[in-house]
Amino acid sequence: MKAKTIAWLSSTSNLSPEQILNDSGDELASQVMLTKLDMAKHGYTRIGTATIEFDLISNKEMIENKVVALQAEMQIIKADAQVKVQKLEDQLQSLLAIEVSK
């Protein structure tokens, strides 16, 4: 599968225009973001366009990878929720301790 997109260089990159033009590609590829979104408002410099080619994995592998990603996201959400619940429980216990001691 092929797709056309825009190549952006981060504001933190130290590559000069000369280095970009003379680079073999490997160093540049590691520092470039490829997206059709306008990244200029985030400090990125548009340096060109790119045609990228994907070697897609099987449908089964994609589903397995998505399941793993969703499970990881669920764990993060559960952990965040548990922290919030614990803070609320602490506040509640503090209030109940004040009320009981009156």
Q: Which two tokens stand for residue 40?
A: 């200029």
pLDDT for the residue 97:
87
pLDDT for the residue 23:
74
pLDDT for the residue 27:
75
Residue type, 101: S
Q: Where are the domains of the chain?
A: 2-53, 57-102
Q: Which residue stretches of the chain have pLDDT < 70? A: 24, 99-102
pLDDT for the residue 88:
97
Residues 6+ apart with CB under 8 A from 49: 4, 5, 6, 7
pLDDT for the residue 58:
97
Model confidence, pTM: 0.57
